[in-house]
């Protein structure tokens, strides 16, 4: 089920109209509001901490010393800039449209998450905090947070749904190796949203010495704008790299969306380029015609969760509905508020990709490019195949058309899930499966 992007209508006064007329930039949106979305729907107890964080972040952004620190860590610790790799054999399956992969999977810790945690850990130190707490679903953000804490000498506690600690036992061990305490959350659905609830409860009680290192571009202001800021480097690099390699801007940019941090990072580089179509692919789970999916923008409606007004999977009573996806990193019933805004103004097209489509694309990338992607990123790959066919069906030579896919993470953590999905584990002959 795909959505038709809104046709820009000059009479509605949408910000996208002004943008298309060249009057208005969509980049660097400061928050706290993105159109009708965003804000600070938080307990009063935490408002002072959010104010302190916002002040610290605003000062840091204007401080060349901070910018240098971030750039130095990105270059010499994370391994930035990440590569932009043309996926030639994969492209044959996208109707011949050229597909380029932004290789966030090659960053230290194996995903884009490191960009944000290094920045926020530096801010935590500037605020004099000695302890960071984080939530994690698949474990990517937890591992990245534990890494940053080890690097900077901070205490680290990671909240993780008990269900996810079982699904991602190796990542739990990884975080513990790095010195973090992992707390399994046994309340609610025992997944990512409950891990966030528990982290917020910890934060309220320990805000004096603790920074909540939120892992996605959601939550209360300043988190959405701040997390995006630390990921903008993805889009900036990708834009320069594609121009250097091909001499032109891409026709489309594709990313997967859970909370939406990798997506907003790469989108940001292209928001003001009207010729670039931008796509966000949500987790369609078993399909958006079932009740097992995480297609928040496709099927949700605006509400408040974890501090921001945004699209939300909720029932008629405003109770959050549990999401489902094969990808733990996309298994979240909310989405960052800037995405809700970009959807409403029609600048970005959001579509669901099912578990099956994602796993097919996962396998295809493994076999055509020798790259095992994160299952999250495989949603973007599946979407790119779809966009490739659409581009090829339009006028012009497919081989002159270009898609950039944000390959947000590597799939080492997903080998167990994939082995089960594709039935790759040898079983003893004669043993019943």
Q: Which of 99, 200, 277, 380 binds another protein (CB under 8 A)?
A: 200
Q: Is 18 exposed, middle or buried (0-12, 13-18, 19+ CB in 10 A)?
A: middle
The least CB distance from residue 295 to another protein, in Å, is 18
Q: Which of 319, 423, 425, 428 binds another protein (CB under 8 A)?
A: 319
Strands (E), 313-401: 348-354
Give the residue from 311, 336, 309 showing the smallest Cα distance to 321: 311
316 binds another protein (CB under 8 A): yes
Q: Which is nearer to another protein, 298 or 314 (CB)?
A: 314
- Coil vs helix vs strand at 283: strand
98 binds another protein (CB under 8 A): no
Q: Is 139 within 8 Å of 114 (Cβ atoms)?
A: no
Give Cβ neighbours of residue 305 (< 8 Å, ≥ 6 apart).
Answer: 193, 312, 314, 320, 333, 334
Distances (CA, A) of 14 to 18, 122, 409: 7, 37, 34
The least CB distance from residue 303 to another protein, in Å, is 5
The least CB distance from residue 314 to another protein, in Å, is 6
201 binds another protein (CB under 8 A): yes
184 binds another protein (CB under 8 A): no
Instruction: Return phi, psi of residue 298, to 5°.
Output: -60, -45
Catalytic residues: 113, 135, 408
The least CB distance from residue 205 to another protein, in Å, is 4
The least CB distance from residue 313 to another protein, in Å, is 11
- Coil vs helix vs strand at 15: helix
Q: Which of 1, 2, 36, 43 binds another protein (CB under 8 A)?
A: 43
318 binds another protein (CB under 8 A): yes
Q: In what side-by-side order are the strands of the sheet with 155-161?
A: 181-185, 155-161, 131-136, 210-212
- What HEC string does 205-225 produce? HHCCCEEECCCCCCCCCCHHH
208 binds another protein (CB under 8 A): yes
Give the residue from 56, 50, 380, 353 showing the smallest Cα distance to 224: 50
The least CB distance from residue 319 to another protein, in Å, is 4
- Coil vs helix vs strand at 22: coil
Q: Which of 1, 21, 48, 419 binds another protein (CB under 8 A)?
A: 48
∠ CA 118-124-128, nearest 5°, is 145
252, 385, 324, 114 alpha-carbon torsion, rounded to 10°: -50
Of 110-118, 247-255, 298-306, 344-352, the window that binds another protein (rule: CB under 8 A) is: 298-306
**Total residues interacting with another protein, rule: CB under 8 A:** 35
304 binds another protein (CB under 8 A): yes
Of 86-94, 126-134, 300-308, 353-361, the window that binds another protein (rule: CB under 8 A) is: 300-308
The least CB distance from residue 131 to another protein, in Å, is 14
Q: Which is nearer to another protein, 50 or 114 (CB)?
A: 50
412 binds another protein (CB under 8 A): no
In the window 382-411, what residues touch another protein (CB under 8 A)? Answer: none
47 binds another protein (CB under 8 A): yes
Distance in angstroms (rounded) separating the CA atoms of residues 87 and 372: 13
Q: Which of 83, 127, 151, 207 binds another protein (CB under 8 A)?
A: 207
Residues that bind another protein (CB under 8 A): 39-49, 51, 187-188, 193-194, 197, 200-201, 204-208, 303-306, 312, 314, 316-320
């Amino acid at each position: 089920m795909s959505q038709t992007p809104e046709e820009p209508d000059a009479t509605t006064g949408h910000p996208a109209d002004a943008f298309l007329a060249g009057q208005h930039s969509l980049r660097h949106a400061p928050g706290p509001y993105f159109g009708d979305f965003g804000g600070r729907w938080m307990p009063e107890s935490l408002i002072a901490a959010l104010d302190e964080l916002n002040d610290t972040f605003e000062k840091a952004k204007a401080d060349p010393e901070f910018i240098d620190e971030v750039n130095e860590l990105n270059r010499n610790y994370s391994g930035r800039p990440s590569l932009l790799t043309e996926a030639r054999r994969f492209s044959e399956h996208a109707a011949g449209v050229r597909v380029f992969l932004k290789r966030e999977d090659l960053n230290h810790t194996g995903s884009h998450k490191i960009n944000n945690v290094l920045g926020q850990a530096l801010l935590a130190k500037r605020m004099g905090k000695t302890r960071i707490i984080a939530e994690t679903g698949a474990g990517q953000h937890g591992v990245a947070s534990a890494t940053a804490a080890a690097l900077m000498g901070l205490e680290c506690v990671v909240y993780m749904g008990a269900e996810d600690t079982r699904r991602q036992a190796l990542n739990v061990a990884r975080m513990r190796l790095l010195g973090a305490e992992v707390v399994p959350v046994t309340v609610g659905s025992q997944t990512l949203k409950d891990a966030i609830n528990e982290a917020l409860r910890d934060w309220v009680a320990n805000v004096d010495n603790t920074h909540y290192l939120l892992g996605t571009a959601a939550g209360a202001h300043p988190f959405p704008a701040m997390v995006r800021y630390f990921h903008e480097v993805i889009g900036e690099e990708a834009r320069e790299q594609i121009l250097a390699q091909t001499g032109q801007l891409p026709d489309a940019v594709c990313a997967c969306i859970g909370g939406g941090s990798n997506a907003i990072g790469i989108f940001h580089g292209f928001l003001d380029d009207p010729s670039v179509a931008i796509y966000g692919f949500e987790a369609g789970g078993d399909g958006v015609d079932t009740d097992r999916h995480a297609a928040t923008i496709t099927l949700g409606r605006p509400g408040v969760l974890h501090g921001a007004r945004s699209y939300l999977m909720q029932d008629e009573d405003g109770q959050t509905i549990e999401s489902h996806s094969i990808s733990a990193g996309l298994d979240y019933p909310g989405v960052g508020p800037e995405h809700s805004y970009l959807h409403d103004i029609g600048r970005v097209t959001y579509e669901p990709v099912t578990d099956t489509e994602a796993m097919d694309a996962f396998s295809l990338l493994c076999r055509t490019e020798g790259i095992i992607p994160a299952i999250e990123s495989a949603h973007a790959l599946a979407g790119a195949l779809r966009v490739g066919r659409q581009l090829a069906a339009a006028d012009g030579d497919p081989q002159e058309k270009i898609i950039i896919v944000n390959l947000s993470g590597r799939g080492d953590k997903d080998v167990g899930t994939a082995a089960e999905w594709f039935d790759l584990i040898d079983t003893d002959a004669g043993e019943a499966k």
